[in-house]
Amino acid sequence: MKLEGLWQKRRETYLRRVMPYWRYVMSSGGVAMGFAVILAIQGYASLLNRARTADVGDPLFAWLPLGAAVILAAVMLWNRARTYIMQADLVFLLRMESGMKDYFRGAWRSGLSVSLAAAAAVLALYWPLYGAADYGSAGQYAAVCAALLALKALLYYGAWRERQFRYRSDRALFTSVKWMAALATAYALLGGVEGFAVVWSGAIWLAYALALRVPTSYRVHWEHLLEEERRTAALHEAWFCLFIDLPGRTETYKPRSYLNGWLKLIRYRKDNAYVYLYWRTLLRSSMFMIALRIVILELLMVWVFPYPWAAVFIYILFCWMLALQLRGLQSVWTEPLLAAMSPLPAALRSRSQRKVQRAANVIGALVMGIPLLFAATPLLAAVFAALGIASALLFSRPRRTASA
């Protein structure tokens, strides 16, 4: 079999495996997703109407390009490529390393098309706002789009080159520089800035393209590609686990020493043994990072749509999403062998799991409720914050389990 055909076969196998899970996703979260889409359309229409009727001194004209630049920069730097590399490939495909371009060609095409489509969608959504705020003409915006899409192609090529860097520090340096440069470039172009700023941005990206060949690189960085594929698969599985228990799912854990200080708040007692274990597991798992992203996204959504009832709906919706995510604790430490060997009773483990899940829900709900103090009256904010916390605590419906 040709190497390009091998990648295509692996992709088809993966899609056949995950497509049935989407039925559970739509049945469990379809209504919430539909409301989220309706809310997003309503918020976008309100923002567009405000941009058309606002005065010159309205702060919207200063914040609008900045918010769009943040979103666009995130999309510009999202350059995933599913390689479907497996552990066995370190043995069986290593000898064909010189011809691996044929294998990766499908990943390049698929990833580039999706990345360009995402960037084009953001630019299309910003077009009416660009015209309403009178940042420039349609011809100027067409030139801006062409420049940003060309930059997107460069960033996709650069992301693949960075995957082959030998040292992690080189990748971290390039990532930090890209974030600052992409944000500055997007803000300059989307805000109608002309002249020296645009020329300076072009010089930065030219230097970036030349610098890609400076760090020491492998022809194929097998270990990094394998690690990246594991993280991507774990992220996809975490999404499906919001709605269904996946058979044979393997969680990924990462030490986060900067969070160990929170564990010192737990008293060292027999009753807290499982509490400590569950908190440590939660803070090291991908579940924690996804929950953190949910909280940050809620804060950004309320900032973009600060209208009282919109903010309240966003808050309750994200409290529900956070509770869905934290239900993953139910599937941690349930191995029969470990449970049989533990000297602690099983009832204590169940109580500890619920205690940690409720505490994490309350903490997340309180943090997400902070913007309500600015978007609504104190009484309304307090009432709906209580409703959000109550909905998170009462979300205990048993999850369905997918058949293998």
pLDDT of 345 reads: 66
For residue 55, the tally of other CB atoms under 10 A from its CB is 7
At 163 the pLDDT is 92
Per-residue tens of pLDDT for the chain, all 404 residues? 577 788 989 999 999 988 888 877 776 666 666 766 776 777 788 778 877 776 766 677 777 888 888 889 999 999 988 899 988 888 888 888 888 888 898 899 999 999 999 999 999 988 888 888 777 788 888 888 998 999 999 999 999 999 999 999 999 999 999 998 998 888 888 876 666 667 788 888 999 999 999 999 998 899 999 989 988 888 887 777 766 666 655 555 666 666 766 777 777 776 777 777 777 777 777 777 778 878 887 887 777 666 676 777 778 778 877 887 777 676 555 555 455 556 566 677 777 778 888 888 888 888 888 877 776 666 666 776 676 667 666 654 445 544 43
Looking at residue 174, its pLDDT comes to 93
Instruction: Report the alpha-carbon distance of residue 65 to residue 197 in Å, rounded.
Output: 15
Q: Is 114 exposed, middle or buried (0-12, 13-18, 19+ CB in 10 A)?
A: middle
Q: What 3-state DSSP class applies to 242?
A: coil
Q: Among candidates 322, 329, 325, which has minimal Cα distance to 366?
A: 322
CB 78 within 8 A of CB 115: yes
For residues 179-202, b (16+ Cβ closer than 10 Å) or e, as one string? eebbbbbbbbbbbbbeeeeeeebe
pLDDT of amino acid 89: 86
* 373 within 8 A of 300, measured Cβ to Cβ: no
Tokens of 157: 């090529």
Choose among 80, 89, 86: nearest CA to 108: 80
Nearest by Cα to 83 from 166, 14, 16, 137 = 14
**150/144 Cα distance (integer angstroms):** 10
d(CA 123, CA 326): 34
Q: What pLDDT score does 285 carry?
A: 75
Q: What is the pLDDT of residue 156?
A: 94
Both structure tokens of 247: 């058979």
| Residues forming a β-bridge with 165 | 217
The answer to whether the beta carbons of residues 309 and 47 sit under 8 Å apart is: no
pLDDT for 403 equals: 45
Each domain of the chain, given as residue ranges in start order, spans 3-234, 246-393
Number of Cβ within 10 Å of residue 210's Cβ equals: 9
* Helix, strand, or coil (residue 353): helix
> What's residue 119's pLDDT?
93
Q: What are phi and psi of 285, to 5 degrees?
A: -90, 165
The pLDDT, as a whole number, for residue 211 is 92
- Phi, psi at 15, each rounded to 5°: -65, -40
CA distance 116 to 143: 16
